[in-house]
Amino acid sequence: MLGDKVEKGSKRYSQNPKLALPFTMTGSSMSHIFEETQNQWRSVRIVYVSYNFGSHPELLLKPQTIMAFWKPGTIAPGSTVDREGEKESAETIATYVSQSLAALSIKQQRTRLPIYKSRVQVLYLVENYQTTIIVGQTGCGKTTQIPQYLDEAGWTAEGRVMACTQPRRVAATTVAQRVAEEMNVKLGEEVGYTIRFEDVSSTTKTRIKYMTDGMLFRETLIDPLLTRYSVIMIDEAHERSLYTDVLIGVLKKIQRKRPDLRLIISSATLDAEAFFDFFNANTTDDSTKDTATILSLEGRSFPVDVMYTEEPVNDYVEGAVQTVFDIHTKESPGDILVFMPGRDQIETVVSEITERATTLPPQKYFSLLPLPIYAGLPTPQQLLVFQPPPSQTRKVIVATNIAEASITIDGIVYVVDNGFVKLRAYNPRTGLEALTTVPVSRAAAQQRAGRAGRTRPGKAFRLYTEEAYQGLREANVPEMQRSNLATVVLQLKALGIENVARFEFLTAPPAELMTRALELLYSLGALDDYARLTMPLGMQLAEFPVDPMLGKIVSKVELCFFEIRY
């Protein structure tokens, strides 16, 4: 382990001169070695880290598990998550007095968001361009403020509605509740939300409506031109969820019939060019004729120090728990956000933290309040993560990738990134779809690190090496290219799009996935020999909010209703 012997550390660093740079880490002790790099001797700071739990600092629960984090490079590591060229002077950070947003009035909270400075630009671009692509760091206020700006500017007058889609149910519900609170209205009236099997909105009163992207797509089956909506905002477009990609293609077709419809594509990463090229209808070199534009918003105000482990972590669940307690016992106050792949790992981490926290001396350390958040958690429990903790208590939020961008939790100063995520993967040969644990992408890792430092300088602890980070995929494969497309193809057919193979997707799905979807629908009787939608079965399956195979079962049960009842 690094720090055990000077010879071992010296040998490691001599193999890679780039790593022979100062790095910082809280630990139990430190020493210095000297290394020859480019014919010069320099001092290299080596830090030992031992994780202490229990009522006595000398009590080491797992002496064989010793982790060391390091901060690569000589420039502020926050540059790895900040936009290139974006720097903030030490004087600005030193003079800024961090104040919890929860202690401010709602009006003060809104004006302190980075997007507030761009309010006029947003309104101008929406007025003059059919499509506005907005790029801004997570937490800058895109999701909650842009709909309110448009509402205040009259885009929801005369019965019109502003829609904002979210890739996840929890984001749609929590954001709607927050906006209703900011507008001082009752949730379900002026501000509402719609998710599968739950509609908290009013057909006559709702002006701002949050919904999952799948629900808005289903509305096109009833109203193909979405005539109720004056503005549609596709939020978190960088996640490239299945229905986000489908909606983008459908909305482009709708815009040709409805030039008055305004689209806002919101992304937290700098991938705006692909969206711009897709939506811009200008085929000339005259930029004044562009129908799309890009607005880049100011992001976070504080740097984030990114720490890597010196050695790979064998057990990221145990490593995360140990890192939480090391932060808790050695770092300044501030809540902690821990990323885990799924529900099982989250519950294990929460249980371990709860159990081990009882051994800490209360007179010496704050209390720890571990809180889980994942898609299947009941809404009242999900909302607990947004509440300020009791006095003398540090929150530890343990979340899936839902906390990367979909929701913003105030007070997070430290992030622990395990480096893995569960993604849906479909095998067209077997016809099986499953959630698979895979390494995160570099874009996702940057998103995770960016959750810290929103109110003051933060730290991100990555439970993997810098070499492992450099070997990660740049971005996740869009869900369109790794999912079962049977439901999407069926619903596109119901919309009247006969040749789905020629449908204009942002990223075209593999031919094998499309072929498999058509074959499955044909075997279910939803398509005929000419790949046309059958009536009434095909339309019924398209309208059912379930997988086509389950929909076929439901349709058979419906035919047996008389026999079952009597």
Output the pTM of the full model. 0.76
Final residue before a domain boundary, out of 470, 494, 521? 470
Answer yes or no: is 168 within a domain: yes
CATH number of residue 194's parent domain: 3.40.50.300
Gap between the Cα atoms of 78 and 43, Å rounded: 24
Answer yes or no: is 339 within a domain: yes
124 with 245, same domain: the answer is: yes
Answer yes or no: is 476 within a domain: no
Query: How high does pLDDT run on average in the chain?
Result: 80
CATH number of residue 545's parent domain: 1.20.120
| pLDDT above 50 (res 15) | no
The per-residue pLDDT for range 528-557, each reduced to its tens digit, is: 999 999 999 999 999 888 899 998 988 877
180 with 273, same domain: the answer is: yes
The per-residue pLDDT for range 255-304, each reduced to its tens digit, is: 999 999 999 999 877 678 889 999 999 888 888 899 999 999 876 667 88
**Any bridge partners for residue 102, and if so which?**
none
| pLDDT above 90 (res 7) | no
- Report the percentage of the chain scoring pLDDT > 70: 79
pLDDT at position 137, please? 78
308 phi/psi in degrees, rounded to 5: -115, 155
Answer yes or no: is 477 within a domain: no
262 with 188, same domain: the answer is: yes
| pLDDT above 70 (res 434) | yes
Answer yes or no: is 152 within a domain: yes
360 with 292, same domain: the answer is: no
- Residue 199 lies in domain: 116-296
| pLDDT above 70 (res 28) | no
232 with 270, same domain: the answer is: yes
Gap between the Cα atoms of 126 and 129, Å rounded: 6
Orientation of helix 169-183 relative to helix 142-152, angle to 10°: 50
416 with 369, same domain: the answer is: yes
Answer yes or no: is 34 within a domain: no
Answer yes or no: is 513 within a domain: yes
462 with 538, same domain: the answer is: no
The per-residue pLDDT for range 365-411, each reduced to its tens digit, is: 788 999 999 988 888 888 899 888 888 899 999 999 988 877 778 88
381 with 441, same domain: the answer is: yes
Within 10 Å of residue 98's Cβ, how many Cβ atoms?
Answer: 13
Q: What is the 3-state secondary structure (H, E, C) of 100-135?
A: CHHHCCHHHHHHHCHHHHHHHHHHHHHHHCCEEEEE
457 with 502, same domain: the answer is: no
392 with 257, same domain: the answer is: no
Final residue before a domain boundary, out of 405, 438, 470? 470
Determine which of 213-222, 312-321, 551-560 has the lowest per-residue pLDDT on average. 551-560
**What three-state secondary structure class fits 94?**
helix
Final residue before a domain boundary, out of 409, 442, 470? 470
Count CA within 13 A, CB hemisphere, residue 3.
19
Answer yes or no: is 432 within a domain: yes
**Any bridge partners for residue 227, and if so which?**
none
262 with 121, same domain: the answer is: yes
Gap between the Cα atoms of 241 and 244, Å rounded: 5
Average pLDDT for residues 324-338, to the nearest whole number?
93
The per-residue pLDDT for range 67-117, each reduced to its tens digit, is: 555 555 533 333 333 333 333 333 333 323 333 455 578 888 888 888 999
Domain count, the chain: 3
269 with 149, same domain: the answer is: yes
Give, for 6, the enclosing helix (H) or strand (E).
Answer: helix 6-15
Chain CA centroid to CA 196, Å = 20
